[in-house]
Amino acid sequence: MIDIKLVRENPEMVKENMKKKFQDHKIGLVDEVLELDKLNRATKLKGDELRMSRNNLSSQIGMLMKNGQKDEAESIKKQVNEINNELAENEQLEEKYASDIKNIMMKIPNIIDESVPIGKDDSFNVEVQKYGDPVVPDFEIPYHTEIMENLSGLDLDSARRVAGQGFYYLIGDIARLHSAVISYARDFMINKGFTYCVPPFMIRSDVVTGVMSFEEMDAMMYKIEGEDLYLIGTSEHSMIGKFKDQILQKSDLPYTMTSYSPCFRKEKGAHGLEERGVYRIHQFEKQEMIVVCEPEESYDWYNKMWSYTVELFRSLDIPVRTLECCSGDLADLKAKSVDVEAWSPRQKKYFEVGSCSNLTDAQSRRLGIRVKGDKGNYYPHTLNNTVIAPPRMLIAFLENNYNEDGSINIPEVLRPYMGNIDKICKK
């Protein structure tokens, strides 16, 4: 959510930002919220005037009663009661305007960074840099489900009977590999100075609407029936929610945290061969990182965060590239975002395995996160980034470490988490 002061002072810039995001259907919201803001400020001014008038009249009542002027005092009491009734109506109107303004402001997208490429959808995203040489071996690499099944590590049929489409059983060495990469990612981020955290896996609706747009919530979140609780789609939601309605001390910034959690997503509209298997699923596990920092430091942290993901994947012998997200591919709260994509030697192309985003102060405004400053409170910037998200990350790992005989190489950094074995072989 952006500052309404920005809308007042530069409405055309806010409208232009909507056009850059190809959200022309929202342009009318700017004039609508400005009219409501005008009415709200007039209502607040009227309320201040009514309170001042009431206070002035109330101060006269005691003096009149003391002087024996009871009739005059009673007449003023009636005026005070009339003002109280008018003030009550005025306060109700204030609440309505404030609520209507907030609802509209939460639909207005964050101002994108000037460096963001302009484009309607992800086909306009721009490659920034490649890391590692993408290799295609001279032997065929099977589809990832076949690799796992040949190693007795995946059971989709049983999962469908138990939970339906979009779920899985990981078994044996593949399940151990899954846990190993999570543990390695955890320690990797701790060694970068991040504080490890296991957050709540459910959050309330006021946190949900604070961390994402309404459109994202509808497409992603599972609601717990009969409860004001939602299953998290990523631990970033509950990690940022941890600071909701808090006034932070300037000396405590930045907060740098890495978190583990299971994640649950509806994944509406998933289809096609590459959407099957364990690529796009309803349940997965994830290591995440978040930063809450000074506004002037957020882009330094942004560059550090995505570079950590690149470094981690390269340590596992997986070539990756970074892709700058275009304006139309940015969710409403994001000012700038970069995807990290891993090389698939089977598909001979890259695919997304993580995303790093700077939300500037849009998320902290929605959640009421402030910093106590020397000249008043202000909003910090918030950022989030995927460290790893298996089992999708496992697809890249298996393909890039696959041998012709069907075995899987275990990179040296991962061996301590795998009982010091250097290969997974068919048993």
Tell me what pLDDT residue 268 has.
55
Shared domain check, 316 and 279: yes
Q: Counting beta carbons within 10 angstroms of the beta carbon of residue 304, is it exposed (0 to 12), middle (13 to 18) or buried (19 or more)?
A: middle
* CATH for 45: 1.10.287.40
Shared domain check, 364 and 283: yes
Shared domain check, 406 and 312: yes
Shared domain check, 385 and 264: yes
Q: Is residue 326 assigned to a domain?
A: yes
Domain boundary among 52, 74, 105: 105
Reported pTM: 0.89
For residue 15, the enclosing domain spans 4-105
Shared domain check, 89 and 226: no
Q: Is residue 330 assigned to a domain?
A: yes
Q: Is residue 112 assigned to a domain?
A: no
Q: Is residue 114 assigned to a domain?
A: no
Tell me what pLDDT residue 272 has.
47
Structurally, the chain folds into a number of domains equal to: 2
Q: Is residue 361 assigned to a domain?
A: yes
Shared domain check, 141 and 57: no
* CATH for 274: 3.30.930.10
Q: Is residue 373 assigned to a domain?
A: yes
Tell me what pLDDT residue 273 has.
41
Domain boundary among 55, 78, 105: 105
Tell me what pLDDT residue 276 has.
63
Shared domain check, 87 and 19: yes
Shared domain check, 281 and 177: yes
Shared domain check, 272 and 152: yes
Shared domain check, 98 and 182: no
Shared domain check, 286 and 371: yes
Q: Is residue 45 assigned to a domain?
A: yes
Q: Is residue 59 assigned to a domain?
A: yes
Shared domain check, 378 and 241: yes
Query: Could you give the C-alpha distances from 376 to 156, 250, 291, 335, 369, in angstroms and in order?
Result: 56, 11, 22, 25, 14
- Measure the CA dihedral 413/304/179/229, to 10°: 170
Domain boundary among 78, 105, 132: 105
pLDDT per residue of the chain (427 residues) written in tens, 0 to 9: 899 999 999 999 999 999 999 999 999 999 999 999 999 999 999 999 998 888 888 878 777 777 778 778 878 888 888 899 999 999 999 999 999 999 999 999 999 999 999 999 999 999 999 999 999 999 999 999 999 999 999 999 999 999 988 899 999 999 999 999 999 999 999 999 999 999 999 999 999 988 887 777 777 889 999 999 999 998 999 999 999 999 999 999 999 999 999 999 887 544 444 456 787 788 999 999 999 999 999 999 999 999 999 999 999 999 999 999 999 999 999 999 999 999 999 999 999 999 999 999 999 999 999 999 888 999 999 999 999 998 889 999 999 999 999 999 999 999 999 999 999 998 7
